[in-house]
Structure 1
Amino acid sequence: MSEQRIELGLAATTPAGGGCGDGCGCAHGTAASAPASVAATDELRVEGMTCEHCVRAVTEELSSLEGVDVVDVALQAGGTSVVRIARSAGVSDHDLAAAIDEAGYSLAR
């Protein structure tokens, strides 16, 4: 899996064998890749989550953003949880950070 660090502690990733190799997250030449509408898959590191209620709060806030297609939370109670998001090009890093903040949590630095 290739990884490119971007602002706000987010990591844009492209599945192994997917994309065109320049980190754009596109689906060039791969039959089993993400939908064409997904421009990026990001991995956020979120602090302060302790339970399934926390997972629901973060998932609901991120899912409410127009252009967020998939939210997957790997809870690490009391530690830094990993939140994976598939989003279209119209969703900014600032939008993602604001949604995490609105849910009551913070991005790990």
Structure 2
Amino acid sequence: MVTTTYQVQGMTCGHCVSAVSAEVGAIPGVDDIQVDLATGQITVTSQRPLDPAAVRAAVDEAGYELVAA
């Protein structure tokens, strides 16, 4: 298991959390995602290291910006 924390910009409410969770959670290999709305951090647990481009694309699809991994 691999746990990685990412910084996401633009999340402001529960809907934001749901959107990011759904998109990132759909990446193959993701087992769990925790979103901290107050800090803008998402913590992803996966079976193997994720392709940063896939995480960035998922966050973009949800309507937010991945600013740091």
Which TM-score applies when normalising by structure 1? 0.58
Higher normalized contact order (CA 8 Å, seq sep 6+, divided by chain length): 2
Amino acid at match of 2:56: A
Correspondences of 1:15-30 after superposition (within 5 Å): none
Correspondences of 1:89-100 after superposition (within 5 Å): 89=48, 91-100=50-59
Identity of matched residues, %:
38
Q: How many aligned residue pairs are there?
A: 68
Point out 4+ residue stretches in structure 1 off by more than 3 angstroms. Answer: none
**Structure having the larger proportion of residues in strand:** 2
**Structure having the larger proportion of residues in helix:** 2
Match of 1:86 in 2: 45
Aligned partner of residue 108 in structure 1, secondary structure? strand
Aligned-pair Cα RMSD in Å: 1.4
Match of 1:49 in 2: 11
- In our comparison, the structure showing a higher alpha carbon Rg is 1
Q: Which runs of 5+ in 2 are unaligned?
A: none
Determine whether 1:62 maps to 2:24.
yes
Q: Which runs of 5+ in 1 are unaligned?
A: 1-37
